[in-house]
Amino acid sequence: MNVRQKKQEMIEAMNRARALEPSSFVPNKLLDTLIAKLNLKNDAELCRVLEVQPPIVSKIRHRKLAVGATILLRMHEKSDMSIRDLKELAIDSMH
């Protein structure tokens, strides 16, 4: 692999990493979609369904906490949405 290819590979890796930065994280779309799909009324009901404490969902909604693997799996199990779809909902389409 030549220097040019290595540079291009590093740029692509940086772009992939940038897509996962907190600035591109849009939790409201993810949480609101889950609430609608599960026919829930609010975040409190979502907390009960996902079996998490209300501060967890509140911190996610206010971008103080990222969606971790455990809660992502619970969202997948309860909604039957694919992990990929859930992740795409949480990433700003502008990035």
Specify the pTM: 0.70
Task: For residue 81, count other CB atoms closer than 10 A to its CB.
Answer: 17
pLDDT, tens only, 44-86? 999 999 999 999 999 999 888 888 888 999 999 999 999 999 9
- Cα 29–Cα 31–Cα 32 angle in degrees, nearest 5: 65
For 13, which DSSP code?
H
CATH of 3-90, one of 3.40.30.10, 3.40.640.10, 1.10.3470.10, 1.10.260.40: 1.10.260.40
Task: For residue 31, count other CB atoms closer than 10 A to its CB.
Answer: 19
For 21, which DSSP code?
S
Q: Does 58 or 2 have the greater pLDDT score?
A: 58
**CB contact at 8 A, 71 and 59:** no
